[in-house]
Amino acid sequence: MTRITTFYPRRGRVSGRHEDALTRLWPRYGVDIAQPWTPLDQQSLFGRRAPLVLEIGSGMGDATAAMAAADPARDYLAVEVFPPGLGNLLAVVEEQDLPNVRVAQGDALHLVRHMLAEGSLDAVHVYFPDPWPKARHHKRRLIQPDTVALLRSRLAVGGVLHCATDWADYAEQMAEVLDADEHLVNLYDGYAPRPGHRPLTKFEQRGIAAGRQIFDLLYRRG
């Protein structure tokens, strides 16, 4: 059965800087999400086995880079389908000399399902996923019961699933789905204040400027 996709398959214009980064740096920092599925070897990929953070939908990668720079004890695997974003993050990784960042291109759920072992993640970040605002498209939203169960299974006990959105009705759906998972515990009484480790992005600033509230949800695997 064909799985419903949860993202727009955009391409966009790739600048010379981003094209250069993709060409030169992908062999060193890139991970292909493609069959035949190969289990992720963190030791080979990062040169160590540190706690691993999965970033789903890293956009242009500025927030990922900032978090990784401030958190050198953990490794960050950023997944994105948008080539300009991948190229930008690769360029920033080189410019800032961030050894704890790797990037993957493709469907994050394929990577989670086929390439990551159960209990292998310290955290999963899902920041501002496509809101699919039309009611008939809500089935395409990433945060659904089966997806949350999959993500939670890859978290180690004590690992954290952190979601953020600027769409109020999506925030309500997220909270309902996350609360219903008996193996997840909300770290706050309802929505969380924006944690200091999550940078304020340009995307988020545009949402605030448009009058939208930002909702953070942090849940720990019990």
Distance between CA atoms of residues 150 and 100, nearest Å: 24
* Tokens 């988020």 sit on residue: 204
Strands annotated E in 90-154: 101-105, 121-127
DSSP state of 211: T
- Specify whether 179 is catalytic: no
Helices (H) and strands (E) in the chain, counts: 8, 8
Angle at which helices 62-70 and 83-96 pack, to 10 degrees?
30
Selected catalytic residue, list 20, 71, 122, 130 = 130
Distance between CA atoms of residues 101 and 172, nearest Å: 32
Catalytic center residues: 130
